[in-house]
Chains A and B, each alone.
Chain A
């Protein structure tokens, strides 16, 4: 579906991509990881036909630079940094939908599933939205159309746990029909979403590995955490994941916490818990589908 054949990209004297070779097929959900300057963004921009380069990039046999509209019609892209667009949210949706030949209602529907109140936001300039709202809207534009390739640059970084869960559900709905390329600085942020990991360094692929993808993108983990003593920092952190404690019960208040974690978020959640390992007494996680 996507081929990078000996792709080289140089900015003045700095070679950012040094002969990239990659083959991506339908069903691949790829974590594109690597430190700053590894070449992830440059690779994405070559794929989007935004950069000139030496070598060849083909998307279903089409050159993204020369056949932009054919290629980009199938690509949904969420950038890491939302662009500072001043146009109102409603116009951005209609503008994007018109260019993509999509139904704006589909995008609005995705936005509402992610928790955005479209009616309230449609007249507001995009640039005035919060970081999370911008991210949700860009995800809505990317997922609310018939994209066969999803390129997501740190897509869930600004999302709250509920929105992350919906986002994972949306990805689950597309996982058999689309290629996903999810860029991140940290593998643990995206590990559970993918079935293939590509690590880049200094413009080259240094790791290309298949990973277990038994994690159901659509699942949730019903979770109970018990800690040894009441801890203010822990309470603050766990509340961000929408966990609750029974304040009416003086024996367990602040000690036993109940909540749910989106299946693909488990590694990230455990990463948070690891900071409080010293006070953890018991962790119980039970996987449930479509909660």
Chain B
């Protein structure tokens, strides 16, 4: 256990000094700052204002950029480390492969989740200073969703990093995975497939296994509990899951998917050549 935390801490220190982390933190911190600057908290849409309005906008933007950021930075840095000889050296030290792999996973998770979370904390503090109400339930739910989505794509990223032997291939593969999940959002390919006569059960199944769609729908449930925005398909979600049940699914499923992908990655890592 000590080795796991040592590896996690080493990975955190490595990441904090990396350029990708500066860009990553800048993007999420910058989004919150920009939302304040452009007066999102003062504007009103669908009855939402203040921090609720900001969080809704923030979560929508996060859907678009968090998964691809996590995927690309994970595969680039992990596969890049292998290419550059970091694995060769650090794995010559007496550390178990499980402590190494899961330590890196844990360290990387902290590094990708913290900037997103701290940006929200910053928004909460600013709102508190301004004396406005803080929607704690919404804040906790969004935190859970962000945590789940970061975990999920980190797991997928670790699997890709194990499968691909070079950072270029890993990056390409990560982009293809993200693009595929993006295409199967209700807005894009899924919508077209339904129009072309795809059975509704298949469409629902695709929606429920696509972590991007799960995240997107859950974010909608939080500000539109009746899912008016989704139209008739809202009945399937609300009848089968209920509002709370769907949020639970939206947190549990990506966490399980990420853990499953990372576990396969660990199995392949353990069985193959390390550097």
Does any Cβ of A come within 8 Å of B193's Cβ? no
Does any Cβ of B come within 8 Å of A87's Cβ? yes
Q: How far is the CB of A140 from chain B (nearest CB, A)?
A: 14
- Segment from B6-14, B48-56, B144-152, B253-261 that makes contact with A: B6-14
Report the Cα distance A79→B84, complex, angstroms: 12
Report the Cα distance A51→B274, complex, angstroms: 6
Q: How far is the CB of B73 from chain A (nearest CB, A)?
A: 14
Please, which residues of chain B bring their CB within 8 A of the CB of A100?
Answer: 93-94
- Contact-residue size bin, chain B (C-beta under 8 Å from the other chain): 20 to 34
Establish whether residues B18 and A95, one from each chain, have CB atoms under 8 Å apart when the complex forms: no
Establish whether residues B94 and A69, one from each chain, have CB atoms under 8 Å apart when the complex forms: yes
Q: How far is the CB of B91 from chain A (nearest CB, A)?
A: 6
- Given A52-B271, A81-B85, A83-B84, A73 contacting B10 (CB threshold 8 A): no
A side interface size, CB within 8 A: 32
Q: Which of B10, B85, B93, B97 has the most CB of A within 10 A?
A: B93
What is the chain B residue whose CB lies nearest that of A73? B94
Please, which residues of chain B bring their CB within 8 A of the CB of A48?
Answer: 91-92
Establish whether residues B84 and A95, one from each chain, have CB atoms under 8 Å apart when the complex forms: no
- Given A45-B275, A86-B14, A86-B18, A72 contacting B93 (CB threshold 8 A): yes
Please, which residues of chain A bring their CB within 8 A of the CB of B94?
Answer: 68-73, 99-101
Establish whether residues B85 and A95, one from each chain, have CB atoms under 8 Å apart when the complex forms: no
Please, which residues of chain B bring their CB within 8 A of the CB of A95?
Answer: 6, 10
Report the Cα distance A86→B3, complex, angstroms: 19
Does any Cβ of A come within 8 Å of B89's Cβ? yes
Please, which residues of chain A bring their CB within 8 A of the CB of B3?
Answer: 99
Does any Cβ of A come within 8 Å of B240's Cβ? no
What is the chain A residue whose CB lies nearest that of B80? A84
Report the Cα distance A91→B12, complex, angstroms: 12
What is the chain A residue whose CB lies nearest that of B272? A52
Interface residues as binary, B76-89 with A (CB distance below 8 Å gives 1, 0 otherwise): 00000100111111
Q: Which residues of A contact B (CB under 8 A)?
A: 45, 48, 50-52, 68-73, 75, 77, 79, 81-88, 91, 95-96, 98-101, 125, 138, 151
Q: Which residues of B contact A (CB under 8 A)?
A: 2-3, 6, 10, 13-14, 17-18, 81, 84-97, 271-275
